[in-house]
């Protein structure tokens, strides 16, 4: 069992530490006490088993599926970022979907009701199928607007409310505090997918959520070369069940992957600050294109003062992320735009140091419908850390090329 403390049991040994800023915390999170002539971040521990004499009860490391010192360090770091008070514990997984599945499937059972976002990440539909096959009743509600609160207050047998804010790919936002209070009044758990915001942009546990779940594949690692996910929670019984699920299913991260994500945390504040600035610059340029040319519509970015989600996002987020959404006239226009870009790469992830974009409508369900229920010309764009002027110029030039081919 690993967590956020200085020992493998996850107790926080630094609760009396001097408070630090976000960048300082990200650089130092999870590092061991300094020792003369030792590296500040120990390398990955490559071990399937450990020397284990005598009674194994209470052993910090016994078998590679149960625990690993590299996980311990990363879990401590993630818990410190998600909850600087020191009360949370984190559990790492082999991917973001492994973390999502663990949180939903280990904490619910037959007869329970779960509320999922209707506009969330498209693989939630596959998880819904698993939940329903196990006897769980699943309701869906849109992220924005008052419907979620009405459903929470009327649902019977509610066990978990799952929120995704900002939502992917629509970038809508919901009021975590309000919804968490309503769900708790009915005895339910509240989980927030915090992938897009990162713990530097939003801390769900401080907003009233019981679990913060995220893909470390995205901005936490930031370099597009690792799959990883995690769950953070304050309630020890919740963490125990999530850890038990990880052990049974074997959804563990490799030590090298855990080490790479931990290494990436040191630049998280620098990267997310630059990415937010780039996202705002490009979103403003797209709004200008929308106003002057009319073939760019539906520009969404929570950091834009005029965005429908901005006021609420500004109340519960400290930064607005790197993802922009907008719609081009049709599939052909969007594909010409993506093909004409010279800096923004066409890829299906987000949060990395290199800017990426994709036409989200290319992902479909078995019946041919859009998996994300978006228009054919909808583009999700993730801003990296390039020069903002270069990104704006690249987007404007690609739009002009796309127009000439219309």
Q: Which of 66, 83, 121, 203 is catalytic?
A: 121
Spatial strand order in the sheet of 345-346: 297-300, 323-327, 378-382, 356-359, 345-346
Query: How many C-beta atoms surround the C-beta of residue 288 within 10 A?
Result: 14
Residues 6+ apart with CB under 8 A from 362: none
d(CA 306, CA 402): 27
Using a 10 angstrom Cβ sphere, with 0-12 exposed, 13-18 middle and 19 or more buried, the burial of residue 33 is exposed
Q: Which of 218, 271, 336, 360 is catalytic?
A: 218
> Alpha helices of 61-186 — where are they, by DSSP H?
69-82, 96-106, 124-133, 147-154, 176-185
Q: Which of 11, 50, 63, 65 is catalytic?
A: 65
Query: How many C-beta atoms surround the C-beta of residue 96 within 10 A?
Result: 23
235 is catalytic: no
3-state secondary structure of 390: helix
DSSP string, 151-218: HHHH-SSEEEEEEESS-TTT-----HHHHHHHHHHTT-EEEEE-TTT-TTT--GGGGT-SEEEEETTT
- How many whole angstroms from its chain centre is CA 109? 25
Q: Are 99 and 243 in contact (CB under 8 A)?
A: no
Tokens 């410190």 belong to which residue?
A: 80
- Could you tell me which residues are beta bridge partners of residue 114? 138, 160
Q: Locate 23 and state its tokens.
A: 């960048």
**How many angstroms separate the first and last alpha carbons of the chain?**
58
In degrees, to the nearest 5, what angle opens at C-alpha 256 toward C-alphas 231 and 168?
40
In residues, how long is the chain? 406
Q: Are 15 and 5 in contact (CB under 8 A)?
A: no
SS (H, E, C) 37-83: CCCCCCCCCCCCECCCCCCCCCCCCCECCCCCHHHHHHHHHHHHHHC
Tokens 């309000």 belong to which residue?
A: 178
Q: Which of 193, 210, 295, 372 is catalytic?
A: 193
247 is catalytic: no
d(CA 64, CA 39): 23
Q: Locate 48 and state its tokens.
A: 């399937």
360 is catalytic: no
218 is catalytic: yes
Catalytic residues: 65, 121, 193, 218
């Amino acid at each position: 069992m690993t967590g956020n403390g200085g020992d493998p049991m996850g107790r926080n040994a630094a609760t009396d530490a001097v408070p630090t800023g976000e960048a300082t915390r990200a650089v130092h999170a999870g590092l061991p006490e300094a020792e003369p002539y030792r590296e500040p971040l120990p390398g990955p521990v490559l071990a399937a088993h450990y020397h284990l004499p005598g009674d194994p009860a209470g052993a910090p490391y016994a078998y590679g599926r149960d625990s690993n010192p590299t996980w311990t360090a990363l879990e401590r770091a993630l818990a410190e970022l998600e909850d600087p008070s020191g009360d949370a514990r984190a559990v790492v997984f082999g991917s973001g979907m492994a973390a999502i599945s663990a949180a939903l499937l280990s904490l619910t059972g037959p007869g329970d009701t779960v509320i999922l976002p209707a506009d969330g990440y498209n693989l939630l539909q596959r998880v819904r199928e698993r939940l329903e096959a196990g006897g769980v009743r699943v309701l869906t509600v849109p992220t924005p607007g008052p419907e979620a609160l009405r459903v929470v207050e009327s649902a019977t047998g509610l066990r978990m409310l799952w929120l995704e804010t900002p939502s992917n790919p629509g970038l809508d936002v919901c009021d975590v505090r309000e919804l968490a209070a309503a769900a708790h009044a009915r005895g339910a758990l509240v989980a927030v997918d915090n992938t897009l915001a990162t713990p530097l942009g939003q801390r769900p546990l401080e907003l009233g959520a019981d679990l913060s779940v995220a893909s470390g594949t995205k901005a936490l690692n930031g370099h597009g070369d690792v799959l990883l996910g995690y769950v953070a929670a304050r309630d020890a019984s919740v963490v125990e069940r999530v850890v038990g699920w990880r052990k049974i299913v074997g959804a563990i991260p490799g030590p090298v992957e855990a080490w790479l994500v931990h290494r990436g945390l040191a630049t998280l504040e620098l990267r997310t600050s630059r990415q937010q600035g780039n996202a705002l610059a490009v979103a403003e340029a797209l709004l200008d294109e929308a106003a002057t040319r009319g073939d760019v519509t539906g520009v969404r970015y929570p950091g834009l003062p005029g965005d429908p989600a901005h006021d609420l996002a500004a109340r519960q987020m400290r930064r607005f992320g790197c993802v922009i959404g907008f719609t081009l006239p049709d599939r052909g226009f969007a594909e010409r735009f993506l093909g004409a870009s010279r800096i923004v790469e066409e890829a299906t992830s987000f949060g990395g140091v290199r800017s990426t974009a994709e036409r989200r409508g290319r992902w479909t369900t078995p019946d041919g419908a859009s998996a994300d229920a978006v228009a054919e010309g909808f583009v999700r764009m993730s801003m990296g850390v390039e020069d903002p002027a270069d990104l704006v110029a690249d987007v404007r030039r690609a739009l002009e090329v796309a127009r000439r081919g219309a």
